[in-house]
Structure 1
Amino acid sequence: MNTELSGPGPATRDPGREPVGSGLDTAARAARHHTPVTATGLVVKVVLLGLVVGIAIWAAFPLVAAEHWAGLAVLAATTAGLCYLYLTRRHIPAKYLVPGTLLLIAFQIVPVLYTASTAFTNYGDGHRGDKNDAIVAIQTASVTQVPGSAQYPLSVATSGDPATGPLVFLVTDPASGAVSVGDAEGLRGLDAADVTVAPGGKVTAADGYTVLTFGQASARSQEITDFVVPTAGGALRSSGLSRAYEGKATRAYDAGCDCITDTETGQRWTADEATGSFVAADGDRLAQGWKVGVGLANFTRVLTDDNVSGPFLGTLLWNVAFALGSTGGTFVLGLGIALALHSPRMRGTNLYRMLLILPYAMPSFAMLLVWRDMFNTDFGLINNLFGLGVDWFGQEWSARFAVILVQLWLGYPYMFLVATGALQAIPRELTEASSVDGASPWQSFRAVTLPLLLVALSPLLISSFAFNFNNFNAIYLTTDGAPFPAENSRNGATDLLITYTYRLAFGGQGAEYGYAAAVSLFIFAIVAIVSAVSFRRTRKQEEVYS
């Protein structure tokens, strides 16, 4: 029979030439998707998902209380998505990518966005809450004792640690004997069965609270004096450690004029929504205000306010010089030592390397404090060893030289280590070939070794520059920004932008978080631009020497 005319027979398969997408390939994929789950893996998965759901439920309550429905929806969708992802056998790559992505969002993107949003507000001391909070604070702060003010036996207590926990007042009504607990939200009654009252009305114990002893209360006497409990008739304040009085507020809010009026002097402060403050006709401003958006005011203040722009630009120039000096100095010194120990004629290199990395092995914060004492004018090692009388941290340029010298000592071991590794990766045949061509050692280093080193080390140099640009510890632990000019106690000669920002945000003259956030965005922009330009040049360099 002519096989060419006969019907199609059974297909003949060549096992060595199985086509892509065949049944065997499909079976392999199916096997990968149906990997058996062990009992241990199942238990771990259930525990972790249960923990995620528990955290989500815990986080949902404050969102509901604050009526943040958008945040609640995001929380619910994220939790449901995680449960679906890890309860299904599909989406294997996403199972590994999602945790890192969520951590990136939580610890990188959200803080950056929050900082950026804060930069456009007046958030800081006196401007933390909303307008209603400011009104309550102004009224309660003006409470004074007047003739006929009600007096109460007082016990000071806390719901936490006696030394640091939040304070509450336990007061007893002398007429009815009822016991109430007062905090910043107001007074609320306590069940008589939950408290123990001594003769005279003083509370000695209360369920859920720790009554402070006389010594514990004395240690927090200033906090107790400043503590105010709002009441319907005014506010409750302490009179010593065992008595409290209900005083009257001398400043009251009038919704008709949207202003605060002093009932004793008649002075009036009108609400200014643009600045979030109550301002009088003569420009007097009440210390307590509220948080409002101020647009670009914080940014323009950095550039246009003479009291800010001058110190800011000077600090920026020193900041760049410090970062370049620290990075360049440590690189040159570390590379020089690495080249010396890389020579085949050098003996005892392992011992030298061990000794040279000692600064890198020691805690930097401890070494910074040691160096600070070494530069002490009167008993420091530097002056005593060389017979000098230099006030290192009392003069602008000597202080700057000192901090760069400290950074040189702390940073060169790192550059020495990375340069040593990069040198060992360069084939000796390249330098030997340049020598055969008649190049001197310097010409060989400049034309062959250094370009190849920079290809490998440029990313590390860029990251080192970014680190030194924001090297808070190097300044804070050695000079704390000193020396300071007489006319400006906020900005010192050795201050970096990061320490200047820290002093603005947490300084003793009052925190300005909005302004500090604006300065932080300037720092971010500068480092980002420098890093982007540097990485672009690094890629071009890699293309040339690849």
Structure 2
Amino acid sequence: MLDQRSQSAGSGTATGMIIKIAVLAVVTALAVWAALPLIRAEAWWALAVEAAVVAIVFHLYLQRRKIPPKYLLPGTLLLIAFQIIPVIMTIGTSFSNYGDGHRVGKDQAIEAIVAAGVQQTPGGTTYLLAAGESASGELTLLLTDTSDGSTWAGTEEGLTELPGAETDETGRITGAEDYSVWDLAELNERQDELTALAVPTGENTGIRVQGLSAFEGASTRSYDESCDCITDSATGTVWHADDEAGVFLTEDGQEALVGWRVNIGLDNYARVLTDPDIRGPFLGVFVWNLVFAAGSVLLTFAVGLGSAMALNRPGMRGTKAYRAVLILPYAMPAFAMILVWAQMFNRDFGLVNDLLGLDVNWFGDAWAARAMALLTNTWLGFPYMFLISLGALQALPADSLEAAKIDGAGGVTAFRKITLPLLLVALTPLLISSFAFNFNNFNAIELLTGGGPFRAGDDAGGTDLLITYAFRQAFGSASSDYGFASAISVFIFIIVATISAVMFRSTRKQEDVYS
């Protein structure tokens, strides 16, 4: 018996050691893989943090004791990586002017402005031009060197080689990993954007677009460090640096082509509160956001609870079939169902107008669009409320309801005085989480209405939530402003956290009353 136990313990120890070695080997491989780009980017602080994390992992998992930290460490690292760090980065971005025209550092901005003055020189390199966008949405020139056939990607940050790009019989790039390539029609339509893009290749050289080709030449512009200014010798224009705003300006206030990223303090937050062109739309979006979130919770809870009470009857026939039908919307992909509902509300051939004999422009009128959004979200959300309400109803103490009946309480009175308060004690945390989810329900609005309808000159639509408004500021408009969008995201976080804290506090008081 002792020998068997010793063999089992030894086998278990050997198995555990093999698993431990395998896990640490994977950690080491991932650390090396992550360290190489950090070294290339000279991100020494990030490299130091990575080394510290790896050291902590090895220290904990090479110990025989300290069992609890071994289980807590993976979750803690994932929490930091996917929750805390993104929040910190968002807050940091909200204090900057990061966005179109302010994506790079000052040195890169100088190179781009100088490159914008490039004039073709005899013998300069020429390229076949394609264009498109990177995975991050950055405008990119996709170039094929006519002399040797090499392929390159050019942005306002500079020129980088693009090995493995697909080309047609002429050598023009037709496909590249991590890039969406425009067709010739779109290339022609967006010539103005491409012509404005300057790709620096050296101190006074760069690449400019000319029709369906591009060339490398010398610039008529030069940077003078003593005056911190850029001078164009061909036109005599002089741009002086404004380090607070992150731009180069002429004497009459004209900005140069490219600025750089700087810390602007609370300016993005101040814009929301003080700029009348932003404050009005923002407050309108905020009010509708509250109505949408609260209305979605109330409507889905009312329909779900009503359905649960109707089916919570002992001996009722067909309850399984009814329940299966009621949870069907919950089982379908939400994004697909939203697109189906969008077609059902079509003014001309939609099912809703045809069945009800209406002629409502659901997508053209703000109030109609809001009603449509609430109705669609109710249909999508009530099965969840039905499931949790049915479970809570079946868990209610039967003696309380029986005592109410003995005291002569009718159905409505028993529901209002006993059933609903007891349900709310159990379900309020879930209702709060549902409110937080609907407050940031990006898919329901973006896929159904796109935030519209929009009035002329307005940046915010009639059904925009703060999250869709922030998304449009960052990615959906002609000029992206990540700093301002990040400030709106911080506002969203503060609002949801405050409302949730107040609701949870009231929930604790409610639990004290009914406990």
> For the superposition of Structure 1 and Structure 2, which TM-score range results when normalised by the shorter chain?
0.7 to 0.9
- 2:509 is the counterpart of 1:540: yes
Which residue pairs with 2:57 in the alignment? 82
Change (3 A) 1:216 1:234: closer
Which residue pairs with 2:81 in the alignment? 106
Distance, in Å, in 2 between the alignment partners of 1:485 and 1:210 is: 43
Matched residue SS, 1:393: coil
**Unaligned 5+ runs, structure 1:** 1-30, 173-177, 189-205
Matched residue SS, 1:260: strand
- Summarize deviations over 1:486-543 as a string: whole Å, max 9, x none: 121x200100000000000002321101000000010000000011111111111112
Which residue pairs with 1:457 in the alignment? 427
- 2:345 is the counterpart of 1:390: no
The 5 A counterparts of 1:331-346 are: 331-344=301-314, 346=316
Give the letter for the 1:544 counterpart: V
- Summarize deviations over 1:186-218 as a string: whole Å, max 9, x none: 789xxxxxxxxxxxxxxxxx9955572237537
- 2:203 is the counterpart of 1:235: no
CA RMSD of aligned residues (A): 2.9
Distance, in Å, in 2 between the alignment partners of 1:511 and 1:520 is: 15
- 2:39 is the counterpart of 1:64: yes
Which residue pairs with 2:218 in the alignment? 248
Tell me which of 477, 502, 516 is aligned to 2:485.
Answer: 516
| TM superposition shift of 1:57 | 2.1
* Contact 1:157 1:211 (8 Å CA) reproduced: no
| TM superposition shift of 1:277 | 0.6
- 2:259 is the counterpart of 1:284: no
Which residue pairs with 2:233 in the alignment? 263
* Contact 1:183 1:229 (8 Å CA) reproduced: no
The 5 A counterparts of 1:471-486 are: 471-486=441-456
Give the letter for the 2:34 counterpart: A
Matched residue SS, 1:379: coil
The 5 A counterparts of 1:181-330 are: 184=154, 209-210=164-165, 212-213=167-168, 214=170, 216-217=172-173, 220=182, 222=187, 228=199, 230-231=201-202, 234-237=205-208, 245-330=215-300
- Identical columns (%): 53
Distance, in Å, in 2 between the alignment partners of 1:207 and 1:296 is: 40
Distance, in Å, in 1 between the alignment partners of 2:12 and 2:485 is: 51
| TM superposition shift of 1:333 | 1.1
Structure showing greater Rg: 1
* Contact 2:300 2:385 (8 Å CA) reproduced: yes
Distance, in Å, in 1 between the alignment partners of 2:379 and 2:393 is: 22
Distance, in Å, in 2 between the alignment partners of 1:179 and 1:453 is: 71
Matched residue SS, 1:282: coil
- Summarize deviations over 1:285-340 as a string: whole Å, max 9, x none: 12310000000000010000000000000100000000000001110111111111
Distance, in Å, in 2 between the alignment partners of 1:182 and 1:472 is: 36
Distance, in Å, in 2 between the alignment partners of 1:233 and 1:295 is: 33
* Contact 1:455 1:538 (8 Å CA) reproduced: yes
Aligned residues, how many?
484
Give the letter for the 2:167 counterpart: L
Change (3 A) 1:415 1:233: closer
| TM superposition shift of 1:39 | 3.9
Give the letter for the 1:512 counterpart: D
* Contact 1:331 1:412 (8 Å CA) reproduced: yes
- 2:499 is the counterpart of 1:530: yes
* Contact 1:375 1:382 (8 Å CA) reproduced: yes
| TM superposition shift of 1:63 | 3.1
- 2:149 is the counterpart of 1:144: no
* Contact 1:259 1:270 (8 Å CA) reproduced: yes
What TM-score results when the alignment is normalised by the length of structure 1?
A: 0.82
Which residue pairs with 1:133 in the alignment? 108
| TM superposition shift of 1:388 | 1.0
Tell me which of 75, 92, 97 is aligned to 2:72.
Answer: 97
What TM-score results when the alignment is normalised by the length of structure 2?
A: 0.87
The 5 A counterparts of 1:113-132 are: 113-132=88-107
Distance, in Å, in 2 between the alignment partners of 1:92 and 1:45 is: 13
Give the letter for the 1:140 counterpart: A
Matched residue SS, 2:454: coil
| TM superposition shift of 1:90 | 1.1
Which residue pairs with 2:374 in the alignment? 404
**Unaligned 5+ runs, structure 2:** 1-5, 175-180
